[in-house]
Amino acid sequence: MSDDAHGAYQVLARKYRPQDFSALIGQEAMVRVLRNAFEKDRIHHAYVLTGVRGIGKTTTARIIAKGLNCIGTDGTGGPTVEPCGVCEHCASIMESRHVDVIEMDAASNTGIDDVREVIEAAKYRPAMARYKVFIIDETHMLSKQAFNGLLKTLEEPPEHVKFLFATTEIRKMPVTVLSRCQRFDLRRIDPERLIEHLASICEAESVEIDTEALALIARAAEGSVRDSLSLLDQAIADGGKDAASVRTMLGLADRARVLDLFGLIMKGDAKAAIEELRDQHKSGADPEATLRDLAETTHWLSTLKISPDLANNPALGADTAARGAEMAGTLGMRVLARTWQMLLKALEELSRAPSAIMAAEMTIIRLCAVSDLPTPEELVKKLTDEQAGSAGSSGPAPTPGPGSAPQARLSVASSNAVAAPKPQGMAQTSVAPEQDLSHLPQSFEAVVALISEKKDGELLYDVETGLRLISYTPGRIEFQPATGAREDLSGRLLQALSKWTDHRWIVSVGDAPGGETISEMRSEQMHSLEQRVRKNPLVAAGLELFKDAELLVIPRKRMTSEELGDVPHGEDLDDDEDLFGED
């Protein structure tokens, strides 16, 4: 595209508005359907274009109008998905001054009278073009009466008339109208695609700007090309060519500082976390954006845990990526899931808070408060240990027997009573006499705890999902690999354990069938725990009340049986609330 001939500055969104389908990025599916329809001469008489604002609905409608009426450079062409752009029809449609292409904004023309004009106009043949095209923007704003008026024309459309409806809220369109239209959902543009697009425009404009800065713009635009171009305009006007200045422009905190904050929260250091939040706020970060950033970080770390490839984010520098990988290794998936849930809830509630910064601070205090609570796995372990020991031994805290009221069983939701198993603490398996192996993990569980303690997230994941234990003695593991287990699992486990314990381990793959993997056991135990929690009358009542609620077992604090018995009259409603992961 050429420079503006008049020399005056033209906003990028206008200057780079697509003139044909090839320039319309990210909407290939729609273009394919249209191409087919045009080629087979089966052009529908009404199309409805839906999608978020700034996605290109009106632009698309104009391109379709051009395609319908283009006569080609030699004046003999028919309808085409590749309008020439230069014939009299193409030129005047793009400038919105074609007599037969009528654009109407339903947001300001909602009534039956406005529609009546359209219906009247539709009766007459086009003045000069092939088709009379009505482009109605924000169609959902039309009154019921107006829709009814339109319906008659849609039911028996004159051959020379085409309707193009654009709407951001397709649900508000009457079904009777929708059923007479072909619908196109315009997609949000992938960030990668948008970054590419922005980069090509920067090149055309001879503007140098960091990819990281473009990535931030693409992210903020949430898939809207127009918004991304407006932000790019603003960045260029501000002289912001690097990520730091774009961040300031967007009110975003530095990514590294978001990670700092996230780290402090995960450590449960509420004081330092609040100080960091306030400091970021002072330097221009919007509290809501910070909460969003924290949620995004949670999502990013979770995907990093699953696979480094999935967590590809062009907005990140190498340092940040390395720190993220380290964090992902140490944090459990359950903790991340819980954090995500709490952040989403906080964002939902933000509008009801007296101020955004207050809401953000309260969220951070809450997150810090639960950061040291046991995860459901630890709880389940505690529960099964208790069950196993319920015959004789008694725990450090009063635990209800198996016969007590269902509520009392909830007392497993304690934080202080659960400690991560220490390798040395458990003596379950016999120790070979000839050698002192007492410093080695005495059970396979203790091995898992050791891997977790050493923060080798990848190995932990592989062991938990890929290893079916056949036999364990300290220094020796025999297992059967689960389906999909990595081939190098035994080698890696051997090396890691030998290094950590300063002992030569033997890790072998055996022929005998092994037991369940840890992750299989865990999901069963979670299931049975959930079943038990569900039976709690209070929980059952809550689930009955909130039909769509999803049960999310999040331990908050230790409750005694008396407290639990009191719950219906208790004032600690906040705790109850968390038993039902309300939606």
C-beta of 79 vs 466, nearer to Zn ion: 79
Least distance to Zn ion from the beta carbon of 60, Å? Answer: 16
Strand partners, 59: none
Q: Interior CA angle at 7 toward 5 and 12, to 5°?
A: 85
Sheet holding 506-509, edge to edge: 467-473, 476-481, 506-509
C-beta of 66 vs 226, nearer to Zn ion: 66
C-beta of 129 vs 489, nearer to Zn ion: 129
C-beta of 75 vs 433, nearer to Zn ion: 75
Least distance to Zn ion from the beta carbon of 71, Å? Answer: 6
CA distances from 26 to 30, 138, 167, 364 (A): 9, 22, 18, 38
Question: Three-class SS of residue 417?
Answer: coil
- DSSP symbols for 43-62: --SEEEEE-STTSSHHHHHH
Least distance to Zn ion from the beta carbon of 132, Å? Answer: 17
Provide the residue type at 62 as one letter: R
As a dihedral over the C-alpha atoms of residue 475, residue 481, residue 487, residue 489, rounded to 10 degrees, the angle is -30
Contacts of 577 (CB under 8 A, 6+ apart): none
Do 135 and 104 form a contact (C-beta atoms < 8 A)?
A: yes
Least distance to Zn ion from the beta carbon of 70, Å? Answer: 3
C-beta of 88 vs 458, nearer to Zn ion: 88
Least distance to Zn ion from the beta carbon of 61, Å? Answer: 16
Do 50 and 167 form a contact (C-beta atoms < 8 A)?
A: yes
Least distance to Zn ion from the beta carbon of 130, Å? Answer: 11
d(CA 70, CA 84): 7
C-beta of 67 vs 423, nearer to Zn ion: 67
Q: What tokens appear for 223 in the block?
A: 């898939």
Least distance to Zn ion from the beta carbon of 299, Å? Answer: 46
Element (H, E) at 184: strand 182-185
Phi-psi label, residue 161: left if phi above 0, alpha if psi -120 to 50, beta otherwise:
beta
C-beta of 84 vs 418, nearer to Zn ion: 84
d(CA 338, CA 344): 10
Least distance to Zn ion from the beta carbon of 94, Å? Answer: 10
C-beta of 70 vs 218, nearer to Zn ion: 70
Element (H, E) at 290: helix 287-306
C-beta of 83 vs 149, nearer to Zn ion: 83
C-beta of 43 vs 170, nearer to Zn ion: 43
> Which residues here bind Zn ion, judged by CB under 5 A?
70, 83-84, 87, 90
d(CA 535, CA 367): 28
Least distance to Zn ion from the beta carbon of 99, Å? Answer: 16
Question: Three-class SS of residue 509?
Answer: strand
DSSP H helices in 331-418 = 333-349, 356-370, 376-389
The rounded radius of gyration (Å) of the Cα atoms in the chain is 32
Element (H, E) at 233: helix 225-238
C-beta of 70 vs 331, nearer to Zn ion: 70
Least distance to Zn ion from the beta carbon of 297, Å? Answer: 49
Phi, psi of 21 (to 5 degrees): -65, -30
C-beta of 20 vs 212, nearer to Zn ion: 20
Query: Helices 287-306 and 333-349 meet at what angle, rounded to 10?
Result: 160
Least distance to Zn ion from the beta carbon of 93, Å? Answer: 9
Provide the residue type at 476 as one letter: R
Least distance to Zn ion from the beta carbon of 89, Å? Answer: 6
